[in-house]
Structure 1
């Protein structure tokens, strides 16, 4: 069984560690390799104890608690995995990070997921240069714990085992969680960790007309890295294939408000779960272009009403 680190007074541990390393001078002069290795084991244990003791026991007593305590002190900051290893004081620190994400609902994104999100423009944190993030780096995106996460991850595990395409796995998971915030880590997991997952999410929105919104594509008050399927319906074919950069510019230009009734996401409630869409002034089916000049922001209710009136005419 792996040794657990022991939280003690850091200064006493430091002195004990110095004493051990000073005495190691004698071992270096000896010829037996195993004797040298065995002499370093206590120093290795002391170093782990010292790392775990940097966070007082009354604040965090377990390795998992120390990791989230450390991440909460530095939210939306790139944290090297080695830092988490030090404060955890155990060799299985990476498993504890996964537990925090899967079982306890903390939105912790690793470097691989961050890069895949950034390719689709879904990681807009100005203080982070995604190109410099490594696979063993971590970022706590949201400081609020999602207590429904464990239930969602169980469903994600069920869907990822199905014999479906990556796109259809993601769509099934989103439709199961309509109206709920889903993390990029969840979607990557559903997709069996295939790097194409972020591109498939974009395709669901821009090619298949599913109202998947993010912070940059319709719901600016969403935390970075969150995805929401706001309604279980596809947009009409003529209102699909709008490039995300164009859609984003139109929403920003119109102040994220419906230009017909003035609805915006601050008015959202469960009895009126609207969302914003981009509408062609001149219909796409009639040659209307996917340009900023030919698009305006409408809520889905007004959007449907306009198209209904056009059909009647």
Structure 2
């Protein structure tokens, strides 16, 4: 059974470690290889105990709890995996992070997921995620997601459906979670860790017309790398070819507010689940282009009203 790190006084642990390493000079000169290795085992234990004790919190005895406390001190900050190895006092820190995410609902993004998002040119990777390396982590929010364990069980079922493509699996998962925040980590898992998940998610929005919003495409309130299927219906075909970069610029120009009724997401409530859409001033079928100049921001209610009145779409 692996040894668990213990919590102690950091200064006392440091002093013991220095003393042990000082004595090790003699072993380097006079001991054989195996004895040298065996003499370093207590130093390795002390070093792990020292890392585990840096929080100075006697209640955080388990590695998972120490890792969580550390991440909560640096919400929205890129954390290297080796930092979590030190503070957790274990080499299996990645498994503990997965437990925090899957079983306990903490929104932790990994550098592997960000790498997939970057690979899709039209995915708007936020500036704070840009420097993330594969073995980096970021806690997106200090709010725990109580429904996460249930969603991950749903994700596991869909992930194992062999007859579905990656895109179909992602869509099915979104449709099981309409209106709920879904993380890139969940989508990557549903896709069986295939890097194409980010591209397929974008295609569902821009080519197939599913209203999947991100921080850069209609929901500036969302944490980075989070997605929401706003409504369980596809957009009309003429709205499915608007590039994310264009849509984002239109929303930003209009301050993420409906040009007809003044609605924005700051007014959102569960009984009025509106969302924003891009509306063609000159109908796409009549030669209207997918340009910032030919698009305006409308909420889905006002967009439907204009279409019922026979206005351009």
**Given the two structures, how large is their TM-score scaled by the length of structure 1?**
0.95
- The answer as to whether partners of 1:122 and 1:224 remain within 8 angstroms in 2 is no
Counterparts of 2:21 and 2:255 in 1: how far apart (Å)? Answer: 63
Structure 2 residues without counterparts, runs of 5 or longer: none
Equivalent residue for 1:162? 161
Equivalent residue for 1:124? 126
What does 1:35-184 correspond to in 2, within 5 Å?
35-58=35-58, 60-118=60-118, 119=120, 120-125=122-127, 127=128, 130=130, 132-163=131-162, 164-184=164-184
Counterparts of 1:41 and 1:58 in 2: how far apart (Å)? Answer: 24
Structure 1 residues without counterparts, runs of 5 or longer: none
**Cα deviation digits, residues 162-197 of structure 1 (max 9, x gap):** 121111110000000000001111111111111111
**Given the two structures, how large is their TM-score scaled by the length of structure 2?**
0.95
Equivalent residue for 1:23? 23
SS for the counterpart of 2:117 is helix
Counterparts of 1:187 and 1:124 in 2: how far apart (Å)? Answer: 18
Equivalent residue for 1:226? 226
- The answer as to whether partners of 2:113 and 2:185 remain within 8 angstroms in 1 is yes
- 1:75 shift after superposition: 1.8
Equivalent residue for 1:265? 265
- The answer as to whether partners of 2:115 and 2:134 remain within 8 angstroms in 1 is no
**Cα deviation digits, residues 48-98 of structure 1 (max 9, x gap):** 001001112345221111111111112222211111000001122111011
**Cα deviation digits, residues 15-69 of structure 1 (max 9, x gap):** 1111211121221123421111111111101110010011123452211111111
Equivalent residue for 1:243? 243
> How large is the RMSD of aligned CA atoms in angstroms?
1.4
Runs of 4 or more above 3 Å deviation: 118-122
Report which stretch shifted further, 81-90 or 30-39: 30-39
